[in-house]
Amino acid sequence: MLAGKVAAITGAASGIGEAVARLFVKEGARVVLGDIQHDKLRRLADELGSDRAMAQECDVSQEADLKQLADAAVSTYGSLGVWCSNAGCYHREGVTPLDGLIENLDTADFDRQVAVNLRGVALGTKHAARAMKRGGRGGCIINTTSVAGLVVNCANSGDPVLVSAAYSASKHGIVALTKLGACELAPYRIRVNAVAPGYTATPMLAKTIGLQHLSKEELEAELAKVSIMPGVALRAEDIANGMLYLASDMGRCVNGHTLVIDNGLVAGVAGYVPGLETDTA
């Protein structure tokens, strides 16, 4: 589905980004992989093959790195057709849910999340669009937001669980950037969309909920137990499939859209009113 396309993916060394890299290559794309975990990234690029993938150290909070990533796609593979702003971060390790409240806001932590999650997406769009406009063949930009970018209570059921202010605000901002980018770049046939994953079995989620000691399969089993769709845990591959749809010609008229992949979590919590009893009559 992506034969002949060149894609750049940030946060590609792990989790969702790694799954996107593997799927895009399987579907015929050549990929430029960016991340701050360079050893892991290089191992993945080696495994995918040097004719298909290259690793480029890229910290998305640094504009020069994003420019280099876009330029590397053009200089190595001749064009840039798909850009995935997928890198993201949560609080530093060891924070409790209370650290996410506005009243406990830590300026450095807040600024880091905004710089990576939000500014990284804005500047990624800037440099991807520049390369795509030069190519003159349109393109597709996909941003990874979150269910926390759509609602602020992400409990599966029962009492509301407020998500971190810094994380949620930065992920809500990505939805706005996606709509703005879609309108600004439509004249150049560059589409800008987002995916909003629910709780997905990746190292980031494992760390966030203190289950980093579990294997991928064990983590999935734990998530499956609390999923609103009994027994079904979201995998990184499920999110990658959504990105493939948006990146391929199947999504050719989809623009400014946020594709929610969450087992239906947001559909439920959006209408959840704390304190309202379930009607059992």
Ligand X SMILES: NC(=O)c1ccc[n+]([C@@H]2O[C@H](COP(=O)([O-])OP(=O)(O)OC[C@H]3O[C@@H](n4cnc5c(N)ncnc54)[C@H](O)[C@@H]3O)[C@@H](O)[C@H]2O)c1
Q: How far apart are CA 33 and CA 121, in angstroms?
A: 15
Among 167, 199, 245, 272, the active-site one is 167
At closest approach, how far in Å is the CB of 63 from ligand X? 12
Written in H, E and C, the secondary structure of 77-123 is: HCCCCEEEECCCCCCCCCCCHHHHCHHHCCHHHHHHHHHHHHHHHHH
At closest approach, how far in Å is the CB of 174 from ligand X? 9
Sheet holding 53-57, edge to edge: 53-57, 30-35, 6-10, 82-85, 139-144, 190-197, 258-261
**Residue 71 or 133 with smaller CB distance to ligand X:** 71
**Residue 93 or 279 with smaller CB distance to ligand X:** 93
Q: How far apart are CA 45 and CA 92, in angstroms?
A: 27
Chain positions contacting ligand X, by CB under 6 A: 10-11, 13-17, 35-37, 58-61, 86-89, 116, 144, 146, 197, 199-200, 202-205, 236
At closest approach, how far in Å is the CB of 37 from ligand X? 4
At closest approach, how far in Å is the CB of 44 from ligand X? 10
Bridge partners, residue 31, by sequence: 7, 53
**Residue 11 or 100 with smaller CB distance to ligand X:** 11
Paired tokens of 30: 């050549």
Q: Tell me, yes or no, if 245 is annotated catalytic.
A: no
**Residue 19 or 135 with smaller CB distance to ligand X:** 19
Question: Is the separation of the CB atoms in 25 and 50 below 8 Å?
Answer: no
Catalytic center residues: 167
